[in-house]
Structure 1
Amino acid sequence: MVTVALLLGSAALWGASRLVWFAEFRTAGVRGVVLDQVKGADRAGALVPLAILALAGIAGLIATGGWPRRVLGAVLALAGVAAVWTGVDGARISGFADGLPVTQLLLSRGLAVLGGILLAVGGLAAVKGAGRMPKLGARYSAPGAKRAARDPDTELWEALSEGEDPTTAR
């Protein structure tokens, strides 16, 4: 679930970077009035790096476990919030002139917000389920591996800490 959310979030952010984010009519001298369109990658430069971070986060979540996975999940969740902010910041709902690609303008920002939400959900799910998720190389570790032999005095103190009487015969 986490991997799918991050993968879809990455795809949405990349797709939003390829669509038109800003369009206006301007005078171009001899050519007259032209429609000037700016793509998401040019208008909001954080979209592609956030998409790449989501892909790298998938590899990082698979390779790590425990607290590093939780930290990475928190970073991904914050990146999702940043992506949502990027999609919402500077958005204009009204005032479009005829001939502007309105649906593409709204779709591009909506796709960025959706990608940010998926990124944040994937990051939070990684934080919450860090202990239950499989870890890279976990199938090669022995499930019932015995603890390494340690100092007998240390074992006695640990037995006392656990509430056992180390002087009684087992």
Structure 2
Amino acid sequence: MAVVLLLAGAGALWGASAVTWDDAAGRDGGGAPPALVPLALLCLAAIAAVVAMGGWVRRVLGAVVLLAGVAAAFQLVGAAGPVVGQALVVAGAALVVAAGALLLVRGAAMPRLGGGYQTPGAARRTADPERELWNSLERGDDPTARD
């Protein structure tokens, strides 16, 4: 879910950066707030980090993502632009903040890429005998073979 929120938030921020904005003096043709593209790229990089990291590191990433969402919302302060661009910034900021909050609250419990696969030397014993049987089958051990 966090990956989907980050992807949608990055898309909204990127889309808002493509809209023609007015600058603070009211002249037409100014660019978008300058931090929208870097914040969108940060969200895209956070997707890879969410998938690869786990545990408390993912919670730290959640805090960074949450702050990025707040920074995206602050891009509207003093920016004059079309309603569409402002709506995209608000939507993108809300999605990024939601992803950051989700990672802070549930990040350590979320599965990570390759978390179910371990080298034989690093395999841990579980207290559940049924799970241990399935783990041995995944490793390719024959449960019917006698020692």
- Normalised by the size of structure 2, how large is the TM-score? 0.75
Q: Which deviations, in whole Å up to 9, do the C-alpha atoms of 1:11-44 show, x marking residues without a partner? A: 00000000012179x9xxxxxxxx831231xxx1
Q: What residue identity is the alignment partner of 2:102?
A: A
Asked if the contact 2:66/2:100 (under 8 Å) is kept, the reply is yes
Asked if the contact 2:51/2:113 (under 8 Å) is kept, the reply is yes
The match for 2:90 among 113, 118, 125 is 113
- Sequence identity of aligned pairs in percent? 43
Counterpart position of 2:134 = none
Q: What residue identity is the alignment partner of 2:42?
A: L
- Normalised by the size of structure 1, how large is the TM-score? 0.65
Residue 60, structure 1, aligned to residue 39, structure 2:
no
1:2 Cα offset (Å): 0.6
Asked if the contact 1:20/1:38 (under 8 Å) is kept, the reply is yes
Counterpart position of 2:31 = 39
Counterpart position of 1:22 = 22
Q: Which deviations, in whole Å up to 9, do the C-alpha atoms of 1:33-87 show, x marking residues without a partner? A: xx831231xxx11000000000000111111111110000000000000001102
- Unpaired runs of at least 5, structure 2: 127-147
The secondary structure found in structure 2 opposite 1:140 is: coil
What is the Cα-based RMSD across aligned positions, in Å? 2.4
